[in-house]
């Protein structure tokens, strides 16, 4: 566990992950003003409270400090293949510093890839735990598309959209990161134990809490700021108006990251939160290409959206004019077709024979009529009546 920070400071930060709650701005301010060694000393020795906390809270912090054992936490991390990364290390993602005093004291990281390099090209995909089949499908497809284009998919490891996003990236043999609200050795939810283990083998599992620590509702909320800060942008797939994934999106907006939403049915309450985001500063996206166009480099543009191409779209303009002159539901004679096409009878007949060779029209007694092929999009085979 080497790094650019002195080992004394590293051990001090390990100690503080056991004492200071994630996202505690007061604790972060102590570290900025007094430095890690002094804060650790004050917490170990007791005495007068550090500024900004009541006597009751200070006594609670001292009780935590008395039970903290950095050596044991580091040993437990090693047993699960985890390491501790802190500010100043080569692996530390500098974008987390945008959180100011609320940045993590350090991160426990489980998995072989380097966190800093992966975070440079990452996108968060988050959404409802109780998602619909539509939400699960969209999240998995979106994540797979991002992974196939070399983007790292970051999510929270939860049921619903989070799990679908992780699985989509893994299915594409891509990179994914799970940011947990617990120790990285604690699978939560329990039903995702196998998924989280697979993410640790193929990607990264990270968290602010030391080994053995369990999540609480408040820890889920503050965890979301790490997802937002770590990534280039956040995509919300499905979210009700009170969804925790909206916390991630709003944190991304405050940090100046891209915020995106995938629209759902207007009748679905599970998409109401996404739609509210889209009424504000969020950008509507529908697939990985849309996301990459927003968060990627110059020139990474999504393909233009077009409707189906009809056979007549590919014709010579004069032939197309004659084809358009044929009635849709009945045959017509050459004179009528020529009149509607504003051309001579001879020109119309020449174009009709050309169109017949291409399979667009057919002779019908003394007239001409459209074939079924002329009505179908390119690539769609005619069906029997």
Residue pair 115/178 in contact by the 8 Å Cβ criterion? no
Greatest alpha-carbon span in the chain: 107
Q: Give the number of other Cβ atoms within 10 Å of residue 308's Cβ.
A: 10
- Strand ranges (DSSP E) for 160-209? 176-180, 204-207
DSSP state of 160: T
Residue 95: predicted pLDDT: 97
- The whole-number pLDDT of residue 328 equals 85
Q: Does domain 311-375 have CATH number 1.10.10.10?
A: yes
Query: What pLDDT sits at residue 325?
Result: 93
CB 177 within 8 A of CB 122: yes
Contact at 8 Å (CB) between 93 and 179? no
> How many angstroms separate the CA atoms of 195 and 184, rounded?
13
pLDDT tens for the chain, 385 residues: list them.
Answer: 444 455 689 999 999 999 999 999 999 999 999 999 999 999 999 878 999 999 999 999 999 999 999 999 999 999 999 999 999 999 999 999 999 999 999 999 999 999 999 999 999 999 999 999 999 999 999 999 999 999 999 999 999 999 999 999 999 999 999 999 999 999 889 999 999 999 999 999 999 999 999 999 999 999 999 999 999 999 999 999 988 999 999 999 999 999 999 999 999 999 999 999 999 999 999 999 999 999 987 556 666 767 676 767 788 899 999 999 999 888 999 999 999 999 999 999 999 999 998 889 999 888 999 888 776 665 554 454 4
What stretches of the chain adopt beta strand conformation (E)? Answer: 82-85, 107-110, 122-126, 152-155, 176-180, 204-207, 233-236, 258-261, 283-284, 361-364, 367-370
Q: How far apart are CA 223 and CA 181, in angstroms?
A: 6
Distance CA 59, CA 61 (A): 5
The CA distance from 246 to 233, in Å, is: 13
Q: Which token pair is 38?
A: 């002094």
pLDDT of residue 372: 81
Q: Please name the residue that has the structure tokens 């189906």.
A: 308
What is the model's pLDDT at position 376? 67
Query: Residue ranges of the domains in the chain?
Result: 72-295, 311-375
pLDDT of residue 6: 59
Whether the Cβ atoms of residue 259 and residue 281 lie closer than 8 Å to each other? yes
β-pairing, 107-110 vs 82-85, is antiparallel
Question: Count of CB atoms within 10 A of residue 260's CB?
Answer: 28
What is the C-alpha to C-alpha distance for residues 22 and 161, in angstroms, rounded to an integer?
A: 24
Which are the contacts of 122, defined by CB distance < 8 A and separation ≥ 6? 151, 152, 153, 154, 177, 230, 231, 232
Look at residue 203 and give its three-state secondary structure: coil
What local confidence, expressed as pLDDT, does residue 288 receive? 96
* Whole-number pLDDT of residue 8: 84
Q: What is the CATH number of domain 72-295?
A: 3.40.50.450
CA dihedral 187, 190, 191, 195 (to 10 degrees): 10
DSSP string, 226-269: HHHHHSSEEEE-S--TT-THHHHHHHHHHTT-EEEE----TT-G
Tell me the C-alpha distance between 362 and 367, whole Å: 9
Can you say whether the dihedral through the CA atoms of 162, 143, 115, 77 is positive or negative? Answer: positive
Q: Please determine whether the domains at 72-295 and 311-375 fall in the same fold group of CATH.
A: no
User: Nearest 5 degrees, angle CA 193-CA 196-CA 199?
Assistant: 150
For tokens 């134990």, name the residue.
Answer: 193
Which pLDDT does position 133 carry in this prediction? 95
Contact predicate 322/341, CB 8 Å: yes
Contact 105, 86 (CB under 8 A): yes
CA-CA-CA-CA torsion sign (194, 200, 204, 206): positive
Rg of the chain in Å (alpha carbons): 30
* 79's tokens: 């047993």
């Amino acid at each position: 566990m080497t790094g650019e920070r002195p080992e004394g400071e590293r051990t001090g930060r390990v100690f503080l992950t056991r004492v200071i709650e994630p996202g505690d701005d007061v604790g972060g301010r102590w570290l900025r003003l007094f430095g890690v060694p002094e804060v650790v000393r004050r917490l170990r020795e007791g005495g007068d409270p550090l500024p900004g906390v009541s006597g009751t809270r200070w006594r609670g912090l001292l009780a935590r400090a008395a039970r903290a054992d950095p050596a044991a936490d580091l040993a437990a991390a090693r047993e699960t293949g985890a390491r501790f990364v802190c500010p100043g290390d080569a692996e530390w993602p500098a974008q987390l510093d945008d959180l100011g005093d609320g940045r993590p004291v350090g991160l426990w990281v489980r998995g072989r890839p380097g966190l800093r390099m992966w975070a440079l090209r990452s996108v968060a995909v988050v959404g409802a735990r109780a998602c619909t089949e539509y939400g699960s499908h969209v999240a998995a497809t979106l994540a797979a598309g991002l992974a196939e284009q070399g983007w790292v998919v970051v999510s929270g490891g939860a049921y619903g959209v989070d799990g679908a996003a992780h699985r989509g990236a893994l299915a594409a043999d891509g990179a994914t990161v799970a940011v947990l609200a617990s120790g990285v050795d604690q699978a939560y939810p329990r039903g995702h134990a196998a998924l989280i283990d697979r993410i640790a083998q193929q990607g990264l599992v990270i968290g602010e809490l030391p080994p053995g620590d369990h999540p609480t509702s408040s820890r889920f909320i503050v965890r979301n700021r790490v997802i937002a800060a770590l990534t280039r942008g956040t995509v919300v797939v499905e979210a009700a108006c009170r969804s925790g994934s909206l916390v991630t999106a709003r944190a991304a907006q405050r940090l100046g990251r891209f915020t995106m939403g995938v629209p759902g049915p207007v009748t679905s309450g599970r998409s109401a939160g996404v739609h509210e985001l889209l009424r504000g500063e969020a950008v509507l996206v529908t697939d990985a290409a849309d996301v990459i166009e927003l968060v990627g480099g110059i020139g990474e543009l999504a393909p233009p959206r077009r409707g189906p191409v009809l056979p007549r779209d590919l014709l010579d303009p004069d032939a197309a004019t004659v084809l358009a002159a044929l009635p849709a539901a009945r045959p017509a004679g050459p004179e009528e077709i020529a009149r509607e096409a504003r051309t001579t009878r001879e020109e119309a007949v020449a174009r009709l024979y050309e169109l017949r060779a291409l399979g667009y029209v057919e002779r019908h007694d003394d007239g001409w009529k459209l074939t079924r092929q002329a009505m179908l999009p390119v690539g769609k085979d005619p069906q029997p009546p």
